[in-house]
Amino acid sequence: MKNEATNPPECRRCGECCRKGGPALHAQDKALFEGGDALDLSLVVTLRAGEPAFDQVLGRVIPLTNEILKLKGTGGSWTCSLYDASANACGLYASRPAECRALFCQDTSELAAMYDKDRLARRDLLPKGHGVLAVMDEHEALVPPARIAELAVLLRARGQEALDAERELSRMALADRAFRKSLTERAGIAPEYHDFFFGRGIDALFAAVGLCLRADVRQGVRVQPDPLWRD
């Protein structure tokens, strides 16, 4: 019989943690973006301050107080983009991010201890004076996630408040799309990098607070509550 005192439990390599989402990135992960075998920013998505996100330690969705960077999901899911499902293996295992090194499903205390500390932000991975920094700030001011959550509540009310909320949300949707289009056309930055520079697209931000974005002939877009959404 295996003696767990001398032979502690080991990872079963079931891939469950990888399928639940890529890791958030911390200061010690900055080295992964440097050198010949560096990770590419196209693999990173920014979750911005104010948007709802699942807290693995608390086990519930809460608004973020600060932005975090995560490795993207793949195939329309949160499954980490570095996970090889056919082999139940990580494509970066030897130099995997800090959260992956800390996580052990049978004892999450090490992950909990470092979970919200020393997290990377976009500016940590961009050189000082990068040409898109000012554009990022402008986008942040015009499309703030915390305001989207507030307006979602107002949109479900009746009367003038709901109408005003719908107009403001529509302007945000058009602004977000314009920023992404301009980033490609003027700066030559391909769409796969947009989720790093601007965070998740407006459709995902709206869906997270129970809103739907529809095309509208007159206004360009129309924002409506999702009738199937449950808080």
Give pLDDT tens digits for 51-102: 998 887 788 889 999 999 999 998 778 899 989 888 888 888 888 999 998 8
pLDDT (0 to 100) of residue 28: 95
CA distance 152 to 146: 10
pLDDT (0 to 100) of residue 85: 84
- Spatial CB neighbours of 34, under 8 Å, sequence gap ≥ 6: none
Residues of the chain with pLDDT under 50: 1-4
For residue 26, report the phi and psi dihedrals to the nearest 5 degrees.
Answer: -120, 175
Q: Where are the alpha helices (DSSP H) in the chain?
A: 16-19, 98-102, 109-114, 133-142, 145-155, 160-185, 194-198, 202-208
For residue 135, report the phi and psi dihedrals to the nearest 5 degrees.
Answer: -65, -40
pLDDT (0 to 100) of residue 38: 79
β-bridge mates for residue 113, sequence order: none
For residue 227, report the phi and psi dihedrals to the nearest 5 degrees.
Answer: -65, -20
Nearest to 187 by CA among 138, 131, 124: 131
> What are the domain boundaries of the chain?
16-124, 128-225
pTM of structure? 0.89
pLDDT (0 to 100) of residue 2: 43
pLDDT (0 to 100) of residue 217: 61
pLDDT (0 to 100) of residue 66: 94
pLDDT (0 to 100) of residue 165: 95
Residues counted in the chain: 231
Answer yes or no: are the C-beta atoms of 218 and 62 closer than 8 Å.
no
CA distance 69 to 111: 16
Nearest to 84 by CA among 76, 74, 94: 74
Q: Is 103 helix (H, G, I), strand (E, B) or coil?
A: coil
Q: Is 47 helix (H, G, I), strand (E, B) or coil?
A: strand
